[in-house]
Structure 1
Amino acid sequence: MAEDEEPEEGAEEGKGGGAGKILLILGGINTLGLLGLAAFVVLGGGGEAPMSPEKGMEAAEMQAAAAARPGGAEGEPGPMMELGTLVVNLREPTGDRYLKTKIQLELDSEETRAEVESRLSQIRYQITMLLSGQRVADVQGPESMEALRKAMIRRVNASLSKGRVVGVWPDEWIVQ
């Protein structure tokens, strides 16, 4: 009887060995995959990603603004003009959040100063309307602030007929 039981135990052991081999193979494949991923990340991952159309337009706007500056991209900044302090309610469901900002406009030339001064109320209104339509999440963080700066430049330039504003620089930016 003992002899009959021994082959059965050996047969069961042979059946269990297949599952161990599968786990070993899967572990090896997993290790190779992780090594391949690590090599991809360390070696650079295939180069630079293609630029999206939005990023391309932003780059073109920045180049145009730099070219419009009196000294070019690396030159001296253009004449600055203080727009003053603006306090706007932000578009929040509770309605109790606001943004306080103090803005300076960088002009393309000194001649633009007279045009901006004559349209100061219109320019302040355009910027106030733009900012009051934003949520708290839209006015916080570097990407959001940069997008708002560009939108302010577009709005101000739409109000001008001769000169151009090449930069909008917030001196103060408080969200409460």
Structure 2
Amino acid sequence: MAEDLDSKQEQQPKKKKGLLKWIILAVLLLALGGGGFFAYKKFFAKAPDEAAKTEEQAAGEQAKEGAHGKEAKPGAGSQTVSLPVFLVNLADPLGRRYLKLSMDVEVKDEAAKAEVAKNEAKIKDALLLLLSSKTYQELSTLDAKIQLKQDIVQRLNLILGNGKVIQVYFTEMVIQ
């Protein structure tokens, strides 16, 4: 009988220890899951909303600009021209960062497309000077990239004639 009592007492602590381990494991998993959910909501769930707001603001700005001097509207008989890849060192103090940029340019018509091909050397020169004058901080935000697109449109319109370039589309952008 004494042996029966001893065996029962030994079995109870083992069951409690095993149950306690499972409870601790479940609490840890719930805590990690809750932390992961919080991190997702904080860092990833808001990003599409902010991007949509910024795109809407950019579209509103472009619509305002179109009303003040752009002769052609995007898509109305316009042509797209691919420019070569630009690889430039950025104007950072240490000179260790570079920008690789590919872009397509939407022009007013076929004549403007031919004008781009005719003035390709001038366009490359102007864009290389513009891009190499930028720093990493000047290109790191979405607003800065939109501003760069507007600067490129202005430079190209200076070379080709006002209103021939409608929009610039970045097809590849790497900043390292």
TM-score normalised by the chain length of structure 1 = 0.60
What does residue 154 of structure 1 align with? 154
Q: Secondary structure at the match of 2:84?
A: strand
The one-character-per-residue Cα deviations of 1:120-163 (angstroms, maximum 9, x if unpaired) are: 11011111111110010111221000100000000000001376
- Structure number with greater CO (CA < 8 Å, separation at least 6) is 2
Number of residues of Structure 1 aligned to a counterpart in Structure 2: 117
Q: Which residue of 2 aligns with 1:132?
A: 132
**Distance in 2 between residues matched to 1:99 and 1:121, nearest whole Å:** 20
Contact 1:99–1:173, Cα closer than 8 Å, also in 2: yes
Go from structure 1 to structure 2 and tell me whether the alpha carbon gap of 1:162 and 1:58 turns closer, same or farther (over 3 Å shift): closer
Output one character per residue of 1:53-104: Cα deviation in whole Å (capped at 9) or x when no partner.
Answer: xxx98663244577512xx5xx557210001100011001100100001010
Correspondence 1:61-72 to 2 at 5 A: 61-64=65-68, 68-69=72-73
Tell me which residue corresponds to 2:64.
60
Is the Cα contact below 8 Å between 1:149 and 1:168 reproduced in 2?
yes
Whole-Å separation in 1 of the counterparts to 2:65 and 2:128: 22
Extract unaligned runs of 5+ from structure 1: 1-55
Q: How far apart are the structure 1 equivalents of 2:70 and 2:160? A: 19
Identity of aligned residues (%): 28
- The structure 1 segments of at least 4 consecutive aligned residues displaced by more than 6 Å after TM superposition are none
User: In structure 2, do the counterparts of structure 1 residues 59 and 121 end up closer, same or farther at CA, with 3 Å as the change threshold?
Assistant: same
The gaps in structure 2 that reach 5 residues or longer are 1-59
2:49 alignment counterpart: none
| Cα pair 1:108 1:164 within 8 Å, conserved | yes
Whole-Å separation in 2 of the counterparts to 1:162 and 1:144? 23
Distance 2:70 2:148 in 1: 18
Structure-to-structure mapping, 1:13-24, within 5 angstroms: none
When residues 151 and 108 of structure 1 are mapped into structure 2, their CA distance, relative to the original with a 3 A threshold, is same
- Higher normalized helix content (fraction of residues): 2
Aligned to 2:168: 168
Which residue does the alignment assign to 2:33?
A: none
Task: Show the 5 A alignment for 1:28-67.
Answer: 60-64=64-68
- Matched residue SS, 2:85: strand
Q: CA RMSD in A?
A: 2.4
Aligned residues of 1:68 and 1:108 also touching (Cα < 8 A): yes
Aligned amino acid, residue 126 of structure 2: Q
In the alignment, what sits opposite 1:45? none
Alpha carbons of structure 1 residues 125 and 170: separation in structure 2 relative to 1, 3 Å: same
